[in-house]
Chain A
């Protein structure tokens, strides 16, 4: 299934080579604040890596924008056993959609939605939750066809097993552009 997804992304990238389409590789490191209101707030460290594809637009050389989606896998470590309570670690498989816009200085913002299928660490238990991610971004071009976007994503997870679940962290995203040869002349 994973191989099929990667092949689809590559095929789509090839087919859309004449458009402003980018392949994405992104990594997110975050701190999750989780709470079941019967207990104190728990803090967990999380990490995620994903692939995706997006369409990009440029408006009057002032504003760049993009919209895309992809898939990711990640994990959140369990919290410490403070006062006898531990927030379980989870492993996630997710699909995401995200839009962003940046100004001429490369500074902008992003908004995204992620659908997560997660399993509790050490168990065979599977659960689902959506997540909304928003945050400031900074994009910089490193070559003609590659750029990096940094973001400080703030996310809220709509989890039925927790009363509160939000995270903050850092996302690094590498975008490799597909452009028609004419675009370089």
Chain B
């Protein structure tokens, strides 16, 4: 009786294993659509701060290179750079890509939004001291919506499109100036709204901009890396554990008032080049931003499980590892940065491996 039961148990387990193997069959990658924006040249009338140029060097190249990769991967891409990359145009492009998706696959499609350019966060002044114009600080000090709920990060982040004025004391002198900047910026919540207009069920957001980690919404997972990474790896702390339990208890019940904003876990996978309270750098070596430089390598380098597919998670992990191991050797303290990814149980195929 005994051995027979044991044999039955082993056979049952083996049957389950074989059943699971039937799912490991050749994969069909769904159609892909993308909106790719890169802004190097900003607001034409932008006066620099004491010789400091507000323009960037590589974001337009980043966008062009990323669009080329996506086209090579079979994506239908809308590419805008510099003066074409405005907030008005972005809204039109989301409507256009939505129509294309609807006509070519509907929900069973992948969508990628990529942005390279300036990124800012409301109220960053409280983190970095008085580096922002008084009008900017006082506006967000008085806005109850400036700070986000616990678990959503501290601030509302903005991606600055071409027509956004520089956030400096020369350009931003009044509340009207602040509002003008915001009109030409894409906030985390606005991006969430735009993504919600698209029928694609597999949405990915890739942002190569300062403070872009703030676009990740609160959800079910706590990040054990602090929003301002300074190079140390603390592992899992008691506070991290409590954060994870708090998010679990709050999810669906709202009992602990963790709140929800930004791009939600079940809305899109967000890969950001930096944490919410980190800056990024342009290096002259690669001809691209550092994060995008490594992201462009992922079809050839990031297929960790050799299944012929590079998921968003694998692409993120490759870029992160390269930046931590190679690039952060050249930065110190708060100068270090590390890419982030949003939580959630599902991951999407970003590229086919080369």
Contacts and interface: CB of A to CB of B under 8 A. Distances in A.
Interface of A: 29-31, 34, 36, 38-39, 42-45, 78-88, 105-107, 117, 119-129, 138, 140, 150-152, 159-162, 168-170
A80 B244 contact: no
B17 A122 contact: no
A29 B108 CA distance: 33
A86 B348 contact: yes
The majority secondary structure among interface residues of chain A is: strand
A127 B247 contact: yes
Contacts of A122: 304, 313-314, 316-317
24 contacts: A29-B13, A38-B201, A39-B201, A43-B19, A81-B307, A81-B349, A83-B108, A84-B27, A86-B313, A87-B347, A88-B313, A88-B347, A105-B1, A117-B241, A119-B236, A123-B313, A126-B224, A128-B241, A138-B9, A152-B9, A159-B345, A161-B343, A168-B16, A170-B13
Contacts of A83: 27-28, 30, 108
A53 B244 CA distance: 27
Contacts, number: 165
B6 interface: yes
A123 B245 CA distance: 18
A84 B316 contact: no
Given A43-B23, A123-B313, A150-B9, 9 more contacts: A81-B309, A85-B202, A88-B346, A105-B1, A119-B236, A128-B241, A128-B245, A161-B221, A170-B12
B2 A106 contact: yes
B346 A36 contact: yes
A172 B247 CA distance: 33
B30 to A, nearest CB: 4
A84 B349 contact: yes
Contacts of A42: 23
B248 interface: yes
Which interface class (under 10, 10 to 19, 20 to 34, 35 or more) fits B? 35 or more
Contact of A31 (B2, B17, B247, B265): B17
A82 B247 contact: no
A36 B348 contact: no
Contacts of A170: 9-10, 12-13
Contacts of A81: 27, 29, 307, 309, 311, 349
Contact of A126 (B236, B307, B314): B236
Closest 5 CB pairs of A and B: A170-B13, A122-B317, A125-B221, A160-B251, A161-B345
A117 B236 contact: yes
Contact of A120 (B20, B110, B221, B349): B221
Interface string B301-313: 0001101010101
A108 B328 CA distance: 57
A138 B2 contact: yes
Contacts of A168: 16
Given A29-B13, A31-B20, A85-B202, A161 B219 contact: yes
Nearest to B250: A160
B348 A45 contact: no
A160 B248 contact: yes
